[in-house]
Structure 1
Amino acid sequence: MKKDISIIGVPMDLGQMRRGVDMGPSAIRYAGVVERLERLDYDIDDLGDIEITRPTREEEANDENLKNLEKVSEANEKLAATVNEVILNGRFPLVLGGDHSIAIGTLAGVSKHYKNLGVIWYDAHGDLNTADTSPSGNIHGMPLAVSLGLGHKRLTDIAGYSPKVNTESVVIIGARSLDEGEKALIKQLGVKVYTMHEIDRLGMTKVMEETIHYLKGRTDGVHLSLDLDGLDPHDAPGVGTPVLGGISYRESHLAMEMLEESKLITSAEFVEVNPILDDKNKTASVAVALMGSLFGEKLL
Structure 2
Amino acid sequence: MKIYFPQWQGSGTGKNIEDGARTILEYLNDSEFIKVPLSDIPAGQYGEKKYNIHNYDAITEQLSRLKKTIETSQPDTIQTIGGDCGLEIVPVSYLNQKYPNLGVIWFDAHADINKPCDSPSCNFHGMPLRTLLGEGSVHMTPLLFSTIQPSQIHYVGVRDIDAVELARIEKDTIYAPGETNIEAMITTLQSKDITHLYLHFDFDCLEPKDYDKTYYQVKDGVTIKQAKECIELLQQNFTVVGSSVLESVTTKVSELKPIEGIINALISNQNADK
TM-score range, shorter chain: 0.7 to 0.9
| 1:19 matched to 2:15 | yes
Deviation at 1:11, TM superposition (A): 1.4
Partner of 1:72: 59
Distance in 2 (alpha carbons) for counterparts of 1:244 and 1:124: 9
Distance in 2 (alpha carbons) for counterparts of 1:282 and 1:194: 33
Partner of 1:53: 39
Deviation at 1:29, TM superposition (A): 1.9
Distance in 2 (alpha carbons) for counterparts of 1:246 and 1:52: 31
Distance in 2 (alpha carbons) for counterparts of 1:137 and 1:222: 29
Contact 1:7 1:46 in 2 (8 A): yes
| 1:239 matched to 2:235 | no
**CA, structure 1 residues 132+62, in 2 after alignment: closer, same or farther (shift >3 Å)?**
closer
Instruction: Write the letter of the residue equivalent to 2:242.
Output: S
Runs of 4+ in 1 over 6 A off after TM superposition: none
Distance in 1 (alpha carbons) for counterparts of 2:248 and 2:160: 18
Deviations for 1:125-168, whole angstroms, at most 9, x for unmatched residues?
00011112111100001111111111111223314x542x1111
Partner of 1:111: 96
| 1:10 matched to 2:5 | yes
Deviation at 1:210, TM superposition (A): 2.0
Contact 1:80 1:108 in 2 (8 A): no
TM-score, with length taken from structure 2: 0.87
* Structure 1 vs Structure 2 CA RMSD: 2.3
1:210 to 163, 184, 194: 184
Distance in 2 (alpha carbons) for counterparts of 1:80 and 1:155: 12
Deviation at 1:287, TM superposition (A): 4.6
Contact 1:172 1:192 in 2 (8 A): yes
**CA, structure 1 residues 286+106, in 2 after alignment: closer, same or farther (shift >3 Å)?**
farther
TM-score, with length taken from structure 1: 0.80
1:273 to 244, 248, 257: 248
Segments of structure 1 that go 5 or more residues without pairing to the other structure are 1-5, 35-43, 200-206
Partner of 1:289: 261
SS in structure 1 of the partner of residue 50 of structure 2: coil
| 1:95 matched to 2:80 | yes
Distance in 2 (alpha carbons) for counterparts of 1:182 and 1:70: 25
Distance in 2 (alpha carbons) for counterparts of 1:296 and 1:100: 22
| 1:187 matched to 2:170 | yes
Partner of 2:125: 140
Contact 2:48 2:55 in 1 (8 A): no
Identity of aligned residues (%): 24
